[in-house]
Amino acid sequence: MKKLLLGASALTLCAGFSTAAHAEFTLNILHINDFHSRFDPITGSDSNCDAETDAKGECFGGIARLKTIIDDTRAKYADGNSLLLSAGDNFQGSLYYTTYKSKVVSDFFNQMGFDVVATGNHEFDDGPEEYLKFIEAAKFPIIGGNFDVTKDEGLRGKVRGSIVLDVGGEKIGIIGATTEDTPEIASPGDVEFHDVIQYVRGASEALDAAGVNKIILLSHIGYTEDLNVAASLPLVDVIVGGHSHTLLSNTAEGAAGPYPTMVTNPDGVEVPVVQANQYGKYLGDIAITWDDNGKVIKAEGEPYLIDASVTANEDFKGQLQTLLGPIEEMTSKVIGSTTEKLQGAREVCRVQECTMGNLLADAILDRVADQGASIAFQNGGGIRASIDAGKITVGDVLTVLPFSNTLATVQISGADVIEALENGTSDIENGAGRFAQVAGLKYTYTLANPPGERVSDVLVKGEGDTWVPIDEDADYIVVTNNYVRGGGDGYETFASGDNPYDFGPPLEQVVADYIAKLGGEYTPYLDGRITVK
């Protein structure tokens, strides 16, 4: 065993347990990730599911169905050993969160029996203060990991980096990890983030030194990074991940890889990596078997698709109904209609031109065109849902744009515009939200090129309908949202620009006004403003 390491995010150990070896041990891990407060069912395209569509059996997920399948599955394992885990990002993404913030998450999660919940980057969207409220209200442990909260007076001493649970007489160590990009994509205040691999190495060595030989990494760093961690560290036995919203499955069409994905670690041992898509649409279910030396010898399972065959929990349905009053009054107002589906799926809007991106970028540019703005940037990560053909309500728009962002402008050079586009294409492989949907601008990117050298053929509007090469020495007024303007999603070039102004109207109001200006009916379109090579 290795020397016990202690630090600001020290692991939590249960005293008085034996380290004697036992026979083979199987643990059934149930898990979700990137729930994003999607308490109501969703359509196949991840947009809001109306009652009529749900009644037809065409919708998925929803907290009431999730409650049922969790209860039923845990009952199936009542004679064995099981854990229920969340890999983070339970905040943000629906009007429930917009209205009730962390309280609605803690209220329902407390009733669902989670054993451990990881911290996602979105848990810091409303600053450390809301994250603290979540911690204080939760009846389950919320673990951190590679971030230091000692400079935040409220959080200091309240976030554990790892925890040890007694399950079936065995000690299970669970380590947390959150994406290092959190300061760029959320608002963590004085919370400092550190290298994931260095942290997990130290935490796993500490657990090993304390006699814990069954170690789970509950991570919110993305599938690609999970694979990297699994290949780099010898003591992590299982990785239950989130952040990239990845569907792993042995049967589902479009899965990014098998469930589990097996990765060989430095000791030649295969490490199972799992993730369960997003929005409570799937419940991950993996059975891990260790031998008496703490080596994983079997990993079997498949995520469960939560469709209409799952009966919704009536108590949860009633609780949601109680919460709807204030929400429905605000959101039921119809602002217009769309002749076709507005595509807002992350799998599309974070890699290429999408119709929702065009609508949002066109709308914000139109709002400030008379102020001299000629280019619009909308980060793909700010687009959180699609809208199906038909009427568009305030609630639909707020679901697409749940972050309460405001219109923002800044003046930068043409060279800086190109630099911003390079930032937007720099992490496409991981589905990063920094990908730029644009208006008043055309560009090409080549994915095979290294980050920083991907963007070419950048054009801006000339006279009439003409397009001309961008002038790197000229100044341009760019419109975006206050989050991106402040440097969010890596857009430092906007943060250092001239004449910044972040206090325009809310984006949802800008979009509503734009649709009204067009006569209330919108036809989605693509026009080749982003070319992929």
CATH 3.90.780.10 domain locations along the chain: 333-532
CA distance 15 to 389: 58
CATH 3.60.21.10 correct for 25-315: yes
The tokens describing 454, both together, are 């991907």
Q: Which of 333, 341, 407, 330 is nearest to 376 (CA)?
A: 407
- Which segments of 451-501 does DSSP mark as H helices, in order? 482-485, 492-495
CATH 3.60.21.10 domain locations along the chain: 25-315
The tokens describing 366, both together, are 């139109």
- Which segments of 180-313 does DSSP mark as H helices, in order? 182-185, 196-209, 223-232
Residue 393, strand partner residues: 334
What's this model's pTM, rounded to 2 decimal places?
A: 0.79
Q: Which of 150, 169, 171, 146 is nearest to 233 (CA)?
A: 146
Which fold does the domain 333-532 belong to in CATH? 5'-nucleotidase;  domain 2 (3.90.780)
The tokens describing 421, both together, are 């586009």
Give 275's DSSP letter.
Answer: -
Do residues 204 and 237 lie in contact, with contact meaning Cβ atoms separated by under 8 Å? no
CA distance 171 to 17: 8
Distance from the first to the final alpha carbon of the chain:
51
List the chain pLDDT tens, one digit each, 533 residues.
222 222 233 333 333 333 444 589 999 999 999 999 999 999 887 878 888 999 999 999 999 999 999 999 999 999 889 999 999 999 988 889 989 999 999 999 999 999 999 999 999 999 999 999 999 999 999 999 999 999 999 999 999 999 999 999 999 999 999 999 999 888 999 999 999 999 999 999 999 999 999 999 999 999 999 999 999 999 999 999 999 999 999 999 999 999 999 999 999 999 999 999 999 999 999 999 999 999 999 999 999 999 999 999 999 999 999 999 988 888 899 999 999 999 999 999 999 999 999 999 999 999 999 999 999 999 999 999 999 999 999 999 999 998 878 899 999 999 999 999 999 999 999 999 999 999 999 999 999 999 999 999 999 999 888 999 999 999 999 999 999 999 999 999 999 999 998 878 889 999 999 999 999 999 999 999 999 99
Can the peptide bond before residue 260 be classed as cis, meaning omega within 30 degrees of 0?
Answer: yes
